[in-house]
Structure 1
Amino acid sequence: MHGTMVDVRTEDGVADAYLVRPAGAGPWPGVLFYMDAFGLRPRVFEMAGRIAARGYAVLAPNLLYRGGRAPLIDLSGLGDPEQRRGIIGKMMPLIRELDTAAITRDTRAYLDFLAEQGDVADGPVAVVGYCMGGTNAFRAIGAFPERIVALASFHGGQLATEEPDSPHLKVGRITGEVYFAHADHDHAMPQEQIDRLEAALDAADVRFRSEIYAGAAHGFTMSEAAAYDAPAESRHWEKLFELLDDTLPSQSSSSRPGK
């Protein structure tokens, strides 16, 4: 793998980002990795690298770059539930600032950046998001259905609210395939929102899967957090790679693990 920090110029400034792709000339299909609320850090780099190892060029931008370059805050207490709540509280103003209009502007810049890379394949990309990144990845595919062919959202929250800005209201624009993995009894994505989301996807005839990971808490993929659930994380990798391998053609697909 070859990973490096890069700067992506957006309409609102410069986003620091992590770009990682396999060794070799490529070209590699592109994947956008939308982080959770805790930002770019070793766990995100590790996860992006694991995706890249399957034969993809992965760009993980600092979605909260308007607040500064990563790391934005001390994350040493992330494994303690009480300290975690305090960290989220400090990040919340930046999270709220990232509305649909802002993520649409930013996503255009991230897509353009990938398209400019000589070792990234032409054509559509996929987007994967975690927690707030899942919400913003959902917004991204609704804003750019011609450029994003697949979405995977893991423990995403507020996906189908009653607000006029709710991302589920744009599902009629989606032409690709989407996958949603919900944490069990997630306060950020309660059952009524799951039902609303699935009804909207059904009505729009979107190709989708929506699954509840029984017993898994919000944030179950993040190994440094108290909510981490190893079996749920393993299942998430299986489902993510199924989606990517089915939707993004790759010149290296025959050499991927399991192929």
Structure 2
Amino acid sequence: MTVIRGTSVDIPTQDGTADAYLAYPDDRSPHPGVLLYMDAFGLRPHLKGMADRLAENGYTVLVPNVLYRHGRAPVVELPEFIDTERPELFQQITPLIRSLTPEVADRDADAYLHWLTNCPQVADGPVGVTGYCMGARLALRTAGSHPEQVAAVAGFHGGRLATDTPDSPHLVADRITAEVYFGHADQDPSMPPEQIERLDRALTEAGVRHRSEVYPGASHGFTQGDTSNYHHEGAERHWTELLALLDRNLRGADRAV
């Protein structure tokens, strides 16, 4: 059985210090790196558990608190089980998310990838990026801004990935060299069918290797087991697709679980 070590780390950025969680197999060997972008509820025990699960499959995983400018995690006090129908919770979180502009996010991505690729527990070579909810937007942008470093990118129940605004995430498609996978929720008003189609068209026209699937019966946030939107079937399917994507692009046939 693989022993996993999880530890808190601090990442220097252009704007301060981002607190983060690092998980890796405790076997004295470097492993392919994965940057995991949080959902709106932030760095918390459930996301650390997701990082641990990736580490159990042979990866070194970094989960930064992307809202670090507003404080160390937890930035917003959260219950152990999150009812996603609580409007007062989103009233606190939404302004924090809006402050994370594309320019700020790109600066932070530089810092996260620099730290991750220089981590002793990370093997030489490209990294993978995965993101959840708002983290899917960050993952897509990171793949576009760092094509020389990112070989695999995945996003799950991401919202507003292909809007008609001039800074829409899908507009970075022509800069992506990674293989891309998206798992959308079929009950997600933040990512309606027309946006899914626009995203797919942009990736196709840019020649990006990609696959986009809609998970039936799933709501926005379906992978998050500590929320009321959790969908077990969709969450397990997400693990299957994510691990296959990372294995193909970061290790190929050399996977050692």
* 3-state SS in 1 of match to 2:247: helix
Contact preservation (8 Å) 1:138, 1:167: yes
For residues 208 and 75 of structure 1, the distance between their equivalents in structure 2, rounded to whole angstroms, comes to 35
Alpha-carbon distance in structure 2 between the residues aligned to 1:244 and 1:112: 19
TM-score, normalised relative to structure 1: 0.95
Q: Is the 8 A contact 1:28 1:250 kept in 2?
A: no
Relative to structure 1, is the Cα distance of residues 251 and 6 closer, same or farther in structure 2, using a 3 angstrom cutoff?
farther
Q: CA deviation at 1:117?
A: 1.4
Q: Deviations over 1:54-95 (max 9, x none)?
A: 111100000111110000112117532432x32122111110
Q: 1:96 aligns with which of 90, 95, 98?
A: 98
Q: For the Cα contact (< 8 Å) 1:28–1:251, is it kept in 2? A: no
The match for 2:25 among 11, 22, 27 is 22
Matched position secondary structure for 2:226: coil
Structural mapping, 1:91-130, within 5 Å? 91-130=93-132
| CA–CA distance in structure 2, aligned partners of residues 118 and 76 of structure 1 | 35
Task: Show the counterpart of 1:35.
Answer: 38
Q: For structure 1, which segment, 58-67 or 119-128, has the greater mean C-alpha deviation from structure 2 after superposition? A: 119-128
Is the 2:147–2:176 contact (alpha carbons within 8 Å) kept by the matching residues of 1? yes
Cα distance, 1:119 vs structure 2: 2.2
Match of 1:220 in 2: 222
Q: 67, 71, 75: which is aligned to 1:72?
A: 75
Matching of residues 144-183 of structure 1 within 5 Å: 144-183=146-185
Aligned CA distance change for structure 1 residues 118 and 93 (closer, same or farther; 3 Å): same
Q: Match for residue 54 of structure 1?
A: 57
Aligned counterpart, 2:140: 138
Alpha-carbon shift at residue 251 of structure 1 (Å): 9.8
Match of 2:196 in 1: 194
Q: Which amino acid aligns with 1:59?
A: L
Give the 3 Å change call, closer, same or farther, for CA 177–250 of structure 1 in structure 2. Answer: closer
Q: Percent identity?
A: 52
Partners of 1:247 and 1:164 lie apart in 2 by 31
Q: How far apart are 1:205 and its partner, in Å? A: 1.0
Q: What's the Cα RMSD here?
A: 1.4
The answer to whether the 8 A contact 1:114-1:120 is kept is yes
Unaligned runs of 5+ in 2: none
Q: 8 Å contact 1:172–1:204 — kept in the other structure? A: yes
- Give the Cα–Cα distance (whole angstroms) in 2 for the partners of residues 161 and 79 of structure 1: 28
Contact 1:64 1:98 in 2 (8 A): yes
Letter in 2 for 1:112: H
C-alpha separation in 2, matches of 1:117 and 1:200: 34
Q: How many residues align?
A: 254
Q: Distance in 2 between matches of 1:43 and 1:250?
A: 28
1:203 equivalenced with 2:194 (yes/no): no
Moved segments of 4+, more than 6 Å: none
* Counterpart amino acid of residue 4 in structure 1: T
Q: Evaluate the alpha carbon distance shift between residue 116 and residue 244 of structure 1 in structure 2; reply closer, same or farther with a 3 A threshold.
A: same
Q: Output the amino acid matched with 1:109.
A: A
Question: In structure 1, what residue type is equivalent to 2:6?
Answer: G
Task: Please tell me whether residue 3 in structure 1 is matched to residue 33 in structure 2.
Answer: no
Which consecutive residues of structure 1, in runs of 5 or more, have no partner in the other structure?
none
